[in-house]
Amino acid sequence: MPQPTTPGRIVLYRLTEDDARYITQRRHHDGVNGNFVREGDRYPAVVVRTFAGNPADACNLKVLLDGEDTHWATSRHEGSGPGTWSWPERV
């Protein structure tokens, strides 16, 4: 698969339990509308930063949630479990 070498690439991010808790609390506190989130939910994310000489594919992501808000996921690696990103499946 291609590497996320440039900002602007779209990947899929899988939420962690901490991500879901933070998003839910922030939405409640700020009065932001959005559908329920939970660990393991996958959302599209835009790569906003990569790191030079990065052998582990870590990047910062702006996660596009199903609602009025986004989530900033920092230093996330490619993988298949919660807290990781993956390339969208080819159709």
Share of the chain above pLDDT 90, in %: 77
How much is the pTM?
A: 0.90
- The full set of domain ranges for the chain reads 10-86
**pLDDT score of 57:** 72
Encode pLDDT of 26-48 as tens digits.
Answer: 999 999 999 999 999 999 999 99
Q: Which of 60, 53, 56, 51 is nearest to 11 (CA)?
A: 60
C-alpha 55/C-alpha 38 separation (Å) is 29
C-alpha angle 35/91/69, rounded to 5°? 20
